[in-house]
Amino acid sequence: MDAKQKEATRPLPAHPVAAATAARPKAVVVGGSIAGLCCAHALLSACWDVTVVEKAGAAASGSPTGAGLGLDRQARELLRRWIPPDLLENATLPLSVDLNRVTDSEKKSSWILARDGDFGFRAAHWADVYSLLHGALPSGIILWGHQFLRSRTPDDATSVRIEARDLNTGETVEITGNLLVAADGCLSTVRRQFLPEFKLRYSGYSAWRGVLDFSGKEDSATISGLRRAYQELGDCLYFDLAHKTHCVLYELKHKRINWIWYINQPEPETKGNSVTMKVSEDMIEKMHEEAERTWVPELARVIKETKQPFINVIYDGDPLPQLFWGNVVLAGDAAHPTTPHGLRSTNMSILDAGVLGHCLEKWGLDNLSSALEEFQSIRLPVVSKQVLHSRRMGRVKQGLLLADQRSFDPKAATEEDCEVLQQKNMPFFVCAPLSSTSSL
């Protein structure tokens, strides 16, 4: 390789909650999205120095592909350790209710299938959570505009060296640390080094997504009609099920409506290293026409008035056999690509970070292998079950064939059948283990 190499040895500022020491272990986190930022916070709190390698050139001020997410109780408790609790509360709205309904597309009417009034999540926009996490980090720990290329471990196995390309200069930078945390998403480049045969699994459906900003239009016919049709909006996670499709709807802070519409179809073509499709005006127009045929008018109008909707192609992956190799560990979607039906992706990422930080602080650098073994023993059984449950939930709500060769029909479902729709059936829904002995 002809590119110039240099060692990144810039001293890092101390984290506000981390004790100052003469020589601290160093972690390199690949990926600067929510999972990577959470890992940075958790490791800094465990008295590790951290460098985050991120290919984006600067912090996201908003994301064209970022939409809504739901935060469970455990994830929020961990987030409160890293960001001011009042800021997190002010950036979210309650989701006390998990409500599943069926829509009769011909009659344009809906009725309740299952309702859980003790859901206990809070709704947030991706960009808001990202901004809070980024703003609470010390300045200078994120290496912007650098694309991870590869890692290698010296013969003594006491360190790991990461090569990253500076996207501005084209030079290759070498960074040395004691630990590499791969938080580079479901298409993880780091994971590919250790599991080259691993393939993402297409779910059988994709999702139109959008966020409607109705600020200044609170009394519009669209919003007034929506609140009449969805009377618990602002405190409720709605799932509307029609024939072999379903739509998710909930309100976000700052006068925004988040919606996700899942559509069964062959696997679409995507460009580059992405699971998000760019869409044409013709595609959007056809989607609007189908929304009018499928959903109640109030929901169809929200979809039609949303600017810049986009398509996520929905993938997951079979549970991995392990989460670490030597001093390289996977976290977030790199460790457990999942479908979104259990609202697990962000919550799993936050819990990964919290558990990883706890294990590293408990065992110290001299016992790094023991720390990663404990992390894996705590998280792998949990995320494996949650990924598979989310996969099944997606197939149920999309009316796809299940293992017994039957499909869920929301119009014909009994009350007992509808119990499977509730989020509380997720394994470890109430309390996932956060340590080998007790909660963190």
What tens-digit pLDDT sequence spans the chain (440 residues)?
443 333 333 333 334 444 444 589 999 999 999 999 999 999 999 999 999 999 999 998 655 456 899 999 999 999 999 999 999 999 999 999 999 999 999 999 999 999 999 999 999 999 999 999 999 999 999 999 999 999 998 877 789 999 999 999 999 999 999 999 999 999 999 999 999 999 999 999 999 999 999 999 999 999 999 999 999 999 999 999 999 999 999 999 999 999 999 999 999 887 666 688 889 999 999 999 999 999 999 999 999 999 999 999 999 999 999 999 999 999 999 999 999 999 999 999 999 999 999 999 999 999 999 999 999 999 999 999 999 999 999 999 999 999 988 999 999 999 999 999 999 999 999 999 999 875 56
The CB density around residue 86, as the number of other CB atoms within 10 Å, is: 9
User: CATH 3.30.9.60 in the chain, residues?
Assistant: 95-124+202-316
Type and span of the H or E element at 405: none
Query: Please, are residues 51 and 29 in contact by the beta-carbon 8 Å criterion?
Result: yes
In the block, tokens 């062959």 appear at 266
Model pLDDT, residue 178: 97
Beta strands in 25-159 (DSSP E): 26-30, 49-53, 68-71, 93-95, 97-104, 109-116, 121-125, 142-143, 146-152
Model pLDDT, residue 314: 96
The CB density around residue 393, as the number of other CB atoms within 10 Å, is: 22
Model pLDDT, residue 8: 33
Model pLDDT, residue 404: 86
Beta strands in 159-308 (DSSP E): 160-166, 172-177, 179-182, 201-213, 236-242, 245-252, 256-264, 276-277
Between the alpha carbon of residue 76 and those of residues 38, 68, 326, 350, the distances in Å are: 12, 15, 31, 9
> CATH 3.30.1360.120: does it fit domain 95-124+202-316?
no
Type and span of the H or E element at 303: helix 297-305
> CATH 3.40.50.620: does it fit domain 5-64+131-199+318-425?
no
Model pLDDT, residue 371: 98
367 CB burial (10 A radius; 0-12, 13-18, 19+): middle
Q: Rounded to two decimals, what is the model's pTM?
A: 0.92
Model pLDDT, residue 7: 35
Query: Please, are residues 230 and 418 in contact by the beta-carbon 8 Å criterion?
Result: no
User: CATH 3.50.50.60 in the chain, residues?
Assistant: 5-64+131-199+318-425
The CB density around residue 339, as the number of other CB atoms within 10 Å, is: 25
Model pLDDT, residue 405: 84
Between the alpha carbon of residue 216 and those of residues 92, 220, 233, 255, the distances in Å are: 19, 9, 18, 9
Model pLDDT, residue 4: 35
Model pLDDT, residue 440: 60
